[in-house]
Amino acid sequence: MPEDIKNEREDGTGKDIENLVISNWLLQSDLLNDERLSLFVTGGSMDSITDLSFRGVPAAVTSVVGDQYRNAKLVERQNYSIIMDKSDLTNPNILIKNISTILEDETFKYNDEMVSRRLSKRAIGSKRLLIEHIEFAAEFGRLDMLDSSNMGMIEYYNLDIIFPVMFGLFILIFLYHMLYLKWLERLRKRNLLTTFLKYFILFNLFLLLHSYKILIVNPKIGYSHVNFFSQIADILTEAGHNVTVLAIDLDPTVNHPGAYKANVITFPTTKEIEDNFRSENDNRMLWNLTSGVSDQ
């Protein structure tokens, strides 16, 4: 193959292959932002799927365990990846065929670039969307009234919401216009800096009064998994919420604090669990699991 291949592995496999770069750890975001990258072979963790979708990189996904099966279906549905069963890796011809298909078929590159552009131009960014959903769930909890099977036509088409909202917006715009005119008049009579400071203080007090206490459980199983939930915790912390992360040391090989900006409580593991994760035979057990998307 003319392409260079980058791989993470620690047992020395493939060390004599000229176009194979072996590293104990590769920064995923840097790799995906490199214009020379043509294909990303991944296990399908949510962190990897999110990164490759935003960067516009086609992928060959080989799911191993957990939510990776469902994540792989997300990119397959948009037709910029090919899903492989982990048992297919025993046949190199299947892997070669899938990689060649992605590299030679321009449809994959076109589709992933379109997904990347749509994600980058969304009206609401990922951080803001995450914060809004968490705050909404924290304030209102489960909403049983959204069961559409018991709704009438007015409720189903949200007419009972649309008309009042339109009327409310009209009133709000009118009131805002009147208040704005009065505010300008007051600024002409009073010191501008003093007025600005008052509004600034009131705004920050409003933010403090509308913060939530949020607990995020972040078990240390795989670096990308831990890093994904760490980013969520830090985003919510930046939004002014009191976020606590419970980091459970399941895998001693994962060197990650659990979060960088949120409060972190580390729950130590037992020696039995630590020995289990250090065992190479136990880790290989994941490749023998038969669970798939239908089991989740």
Assess whether 50 and 17 both reside in one domain. Answer: yes
Final residue of a domain: which of 160, 188, 209?
Answer: 209
Final residue of a domain: which of 100, 120, 140?
Answer: 120
pLDDT at 144: 72
pLDDT band at 296 (very low <50, low <70, confident <90, very high): very low
On whether residue 233 sits in a domain, the answer given is yes
6 CB-near residues (< 8 Å, 6+ apart): 20, 21, 23, 26, 31
Final residue of a domain: which of 192, 209, 226?
Answer: 209
Assess whether 89 and 46 both reside in one domain. Answer: yes
pLDDT band at 245 (very low <50, low <70, confident <90, very high): very high
Query: 236, 214 in Cβ contact below 8 A?
Result: yes
pLDDT at 27: 81
Assess whether 178 and 114 both reside in one domain. Answer: no
**How far is C-alpha 67 from the chain's CA centre?**
13
- What is the value of pTM for the model shown? 0.53
Check pLDDT > 80 for residue 163.
yes
On whether residue 102 sits in a domain, the answer given is yes
Q: Which residue has the higher pLDDT, 183 or 129?
A: 129
pLDDT band at 2 (very low <50, low <70, confident <90, very high): very low
On whether residue 74 sits in a domain, the answer given is yes
- Count of structural domains within the chain: 3
Q: Which residue has the higher pLDDT, 193 or 37?
A: 37
Segments forming the whole domain that contains residue 24? 5-120
Assess whether 232 and 174 both reside in one domain. Answer: no
What whole-number percentage of the chain has pLDDT above 90?
Answer: 7
Assess whether 201 and 238 both reside in one domain. Answer: no
Assess whether 196 and 218 both reside in one domain. Answer: no
Assess whether 80 and 22 both reside in one domain. Answer: yes
On whether residue 136 sits in a domain, the answer given is no
Assess whether 204 and 219 both reside in one domain. Answer: no
Give the pLDDT confidence of 45-88 residue by residue, as tens digits. 888 888 888 888 898 998 888 888 888 898 888 888 898 888 88
Assess whether 67 and 88 both reside in one domain. Answer: yes
Give the pLDDT confidence of 181-214 residue by residue, as tens digits. 777 676 666 555 565 556 666 566 555 555 678 8
Query: For the ranges 3-12, 30-39, 61-70, 85-94, which has the lowest average pLDDT?
Result: 3-12
Assess whether 205 and 246 both reside in one domain. Answer: no
What whole-number percentage of the chain has pLDDT above 70?
Answer: 76
State the average pLDDT over residues 84-104. Answer: 89
Assess whether 179 and 226 both reside in one domain. Answer: no
Query: For the ranges 28-37, 204-213, 260-269, which has the lowest average pLDDT?
Result: 204-213
On whether residue 61 sits in a domain, the answer given is yes
pLDDT at 146: 64
On whether residue 128 sits in a domain, the answer given is no
pLDDT at 154: 82
Assess whether 243 and 288 both reside in one domain. Answer: yes
Which CATH number covers residue 87?
Answer: 3.40.50.2000
On whether residue 141 sits in a domain, the answer given is no
Check pLDDT > 90 for residue 260.
yes
On whether residue 133 sits in a domain, the answer given is no
